[in-house]
């Protein structure tokens, strides 16, 4: 796993604070508050407190509060009158609810929003945000279908093409030639499997028609039975060592894994998961599903913070672990960065309530900003430009199952390292 030289959460908080201060000091801090219209800035936090992504929402909420406290403490230390507060709304991991809650934020006068986290939710909210002049800064949405230049959505993770490259590299390393996908049928799942399929087919691999499921009416037993049936016919043509199940799910993947334990065919091949399942709190506490994931050596890619920034993000991760009692999702770290980045852009903008000027300033600030997760520069579509992924799997070091990092992929170099 990635090692850190940092000895305490306090040192990491100081380093993160210092990195942010460099950006602010470079922009004549003392004069910026004169152009800020409202001394109390309301920032919307549109996250999944409930639903299948609730684990991510829990981590993100804690991280956002931690970042907000640090940022407000810094602002107070400079004599600034600006103070930020969070207005938290639960999307319930539901696109319709996400739009409803975005409208509620608008009615409360909120124009700057961290979130939504799920791509389907971001897609549902985007038109309203564009029409009403709201800025969305998502710490987690990845779907390539909403990688749109000049819209009001910015994302602190790369679009799904980057994750697809990481998955292709891992499957190639493991000599997998045939993939049977189980796919959450929404904007994120459909886009992700399309991106992965394109790369795998280019490499001469075989991708069976996806087994799609409706996330609003999951029947895990039926899915597992369908997968077992597909495996029976596939294994009649290919050796088990070359076949794998590739599951694109949120936390409901835990139920699918548990159901798979009832079918011996499902235990004959490797399983792979997705970023939306990596570090989910639901899997380690389900002993049947966790043991199956461990036995099948299931690995899930998750966006990875820059290893060169370990002294910045590791103490924050440790502070989150202390509060959550578990490994936080990496989107908690991008949430932490989102709070600081948004405040920095707001404070530096000559007209912070002019959404177009604020967007321009956000892009400008991000291009030079080094947060706790590394460089935050955006590409032409407003998505994170620099990408790397950690591969997470289930381990059992003691009495309990835990998530553990088993590998790392860097998109810029194409280098895959298995620990």
Which of residues 187 and 32 earns the better pLDDT score?
A: 187
Residue from 173, 139, 138 nearest 409 by CA: 173
Highest mean pLDDT among 23-27, 43-47, 158-162, 345-349: 43-47
Helix 310-324 to helix 54-77 angle, to the nearest 10 degrees? 120
Domain spanning 161-303+389-418, CATH class: alpha beta
In this structure, the number of other CB atoms found within 10 A of the CB of residue 31 comes to 8
Which of residues 39 and 283 earns the better pLDDT score?
A: 283
pLDDT higher than threshold 70 for residue 147? yes
- Rounded to an integer, the average pLDDT of 120-125 is 98
The pLDDT confidence band at residue 415, using thresholds 50, 70 and 90, is very high
pLDDT at 121: 98
pLDDT at 34: 36
pLDDT at 254: 98
The pLDDT confidence band at residue 8, using thresholds 50, 70 and 90, is very low
Report DSSP state, residue 216.
T
pLDDT, tens digit, for every residue of 328-379?
999 999 999 999 999 999 999 988 889 999 999 999 999 999 999 999 999 9
Residue 5's alpha-carbon distances to 24, 55, 225, 307, 323, in angstroms, are 27, 28, 48, 12, 22
* Residue range(s) of every CATH 3.40.50.2300 domain in the chain: 9-157+307-386, 161-303+389-418
**CA torsion through residues 143, 149, 153, 159, sign:** positive
Domain spanning 9-157+307-386, CATH class: alpha beta
pLDDT at 30: 38
pLDDT higher than threshold 80 for residue 28? no
Structure tokens at 352: 């912070």
Residue 115, sorted as left (phi over 0), alpha (psi -120 to 50) or beta, turns out to be left
């Amino acid at each position: 796993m990635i090692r850190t030289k940092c000895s305490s959460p306090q040192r990491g908080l100081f380093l993160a604070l210092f990195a942010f201060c460099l950006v602010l000091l470079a922009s004549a801090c003392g004069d910026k508050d004169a152009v800020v219209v409202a001394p109390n800035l309301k920032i919307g936090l549109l996250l999944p407190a409930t639903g299948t992504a609730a684990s991510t929402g829990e981590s993100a909420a804690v991280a956002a509060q931690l970042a907000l406290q640090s940022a407000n403490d810094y602002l107070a230390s400079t004599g600034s009158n600006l103070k930020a507060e969070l207005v938290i709304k639960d999307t319930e991991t539901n696109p319709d609810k996400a739009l409803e809650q975005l409208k509620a934020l608008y009615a409360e006068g909120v124009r700057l929003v961290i979130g939504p986290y799920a791509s389907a939710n971001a897609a549902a909210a985007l038109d309203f945000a564009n029409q009403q002049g709201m800025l969305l800064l998502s710490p987690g949405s990845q779907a390539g279908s909403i990688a749109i230049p000049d819209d009001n959505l910015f994302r602190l993770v790369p679009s799904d093409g980057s994750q697809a490259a990481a998955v292709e590299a891992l499957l190639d390393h493991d000599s997998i030639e045939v993939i049977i996908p189980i796919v959450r049928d929404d904007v994120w799942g459909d886009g992700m499997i399309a991106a992965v399929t394109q790369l795998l087919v280019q490499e001469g691999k075989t991708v069976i028609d996806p087994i799609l499921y409706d996330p609003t009416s999951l029947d895990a037993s039926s899915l597992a039975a369908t997968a077992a049936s597909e495996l029976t016919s596939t294994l009649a043509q290919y050796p088990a060592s070359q076949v794998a199940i590739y599951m694109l799910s949120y936390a409901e993947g835990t139920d699918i894994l548990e159901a798979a334990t009832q079918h011996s065919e499902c235990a004959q091949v490797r399983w792979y998961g997705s970023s939306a399942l990596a570090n989910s709190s639901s899997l380690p506490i389900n002993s049947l599903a966790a043991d199956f994931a461990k036995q099948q050596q299931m690995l899930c890619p998750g966006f990875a913070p820059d290893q060169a920034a370990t002294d910045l993000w590791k103490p924050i991760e440790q502070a989150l672990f202390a509060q959550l009692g578990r490994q936080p999702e990496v989107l908690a770290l991008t949430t932490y960065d989102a709070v600081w980045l948004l405040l920095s852009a707001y404070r530096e903008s000559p007209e912070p309530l002019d959404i177009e000027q604020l967007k321009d300033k956000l892009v400008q600030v991000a291009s030079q900003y080094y947060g706790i997760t590394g460089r935050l520069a955006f590409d032409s579509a407003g998505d994170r430009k620099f990408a790397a992924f950690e591969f997470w799997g289930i381990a059992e070091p003691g009495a309990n199952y835990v998530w553990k990092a088993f590998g790392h992929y860097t998109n810029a170099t194409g280098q895959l390292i298995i620990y």
